Amino acid sequence: MYPAERHAAILDAARRQGGEVTVQQLGELLEVAPETVRRDLGALERRGLLRRRHGGAVLAERAPFESPLSLRGLAEAEERRAVAEAVAELLPAEGSILLDSGTMTLEVARSLAARRDTGALLVVTTSLPIAMLLTRHPRLTALLLPGRLRAVTQAVVGAATEQRLAELQVDAAVLGANGVTPGRGAFTTLPDEASVKERMLDAAGHRILAVLASKFDSPSLSRFATLDRFDTVVTDARLDAETAGRVADDGPELILAGEHPGDRSTTPPKGTPA
């Protein structure tokens, strides 16, 4: 049974039992070791779905379907910074790139702005906060795409955005995701966001997915790509070995960023000689 299947079974058991489950009960239900149950409870707690307590866990109130950008940036800040710095190392010093909207790509923009080797780099983005940030850095040129501005994400979407993206060709694109399920793909909240992300992938030479480990096997509404559409997936070192293996099976190179700059491990793309 995959972690996503166990997580769904744990949540279902908690709902059926008045919101509370124990490690012993879940071990018997899932036929797994207590250590596996505790690891699954930890993953569900990081996603805000459960609160762990001695011997088990209780259901937590569900987070909003789509949190404001300002709130999302407060959680998992160290892990996000490590991923962003690893992503920035993959991007060219000169040329053109696309940055998706979101707290992860905003952190990537900060890392780019801090680089000393950046030359004439054009950053095309759907994110108003990223465009505003980069206008303060003379070595970087920011281009905000046209479109309808969403208040929650502060990102542009719609037909005008997609039309402009269809006319572009850039060296690299960095995309975020609200959820990632190996074997199925990367997901976002709304179809409008998904359509823009699809066009971003079409426009890019090197395609990078930057996402926190807590987003894996976390459900969201709209799939915008299977993982084999990405050349590289960058996440933090909390990703468990089983999920990492499933990501690698989908084809992209997997980079696990550590807590300190430059501390990372890499799994080569599927089919690459060892």
User: Which tokens belong to 32?
Assistant: 């797994």
How far is Cα 274 from Cα 267, in angstroms, rounded to an integer?
10
Asked if pLDDT for residue 159 goes beyond 90, the answer is yes
pLDDT digits (tens, 9 = 90+) for 18-41: 888 999 999 999 999 999 999 999
How far is Cα 255 from Cα 71, in angstroms, rounded to an integer?
26
Name the DSSP class of 155. B
Q: Which residues pair with 58 in a beta bridge?
A: 20, 51
Mean pLDDT for 232-253 is 95
Q: Which residues pair with 42 in a beta bridge?
A: none
How far is Cα 193 from Cα 73, in angstroms, rounded to an integer?
19
- Domain boundaries 3-59, corresponding CATH code: 1.10.10.10
Question: Residue ranges of the domains in the chain?
Answer: 3-59, 69-267
CB of 41 within 8 A of CB of 51?
A: no
Q: Which residues pair with 144 in a beta bridge?
A: 125
Helices 103-114 and 77-90 cross at an angle (nearest 10°) of 60
In degrees, rounded to 5, the angle at the alpha carbon of residue 237 between the alpha carbons of residues 232 and 239 is 80
How far is Cα 30 from Cα 33, in angstroms, rounded to an integer?
9
Question: Is the full-model pTM beyond 0.85?
Answer: no
Fold of 69-267: Rossmann fold (3.40.50)
DSSP-based three-state secondary structure for 183? coil
Residues with Cβ within 8 Å of 48's Cβ and at least 6 positions away in sequence, in order, are 60, 62, 63
Q: How many CB atoms lie within 10 A of CB 114?
A: 11
pLDDT above 70 covers a percentage of the chain that reads 89
CB of 123 within 8 A of CB of 97?
A: yes
Please report the pLDDT score of residue 48 as a whole number: 77
Mean pLDDT for 115-140 is 91
Q: Where does 76-228 show beta strands of DSSP type E?
A: 95-99, 121-125, 140-144, 148-149, 156-157, 170-175, 179-181, 185-188, 204-210, 222-225
How far is Cα 204 from Cα 187, in angstroms, rounded to an integer?
19
pLDDT digits (tens, 9 = 90+) for 171-204: 999 999 999 999 999 999 889 999 999 999 999 9
Per-residue burial over 19-35, b = 16 or more CB atoms within 10 Å of its CB, e = otherwise: eebbbebbbeebeeeee
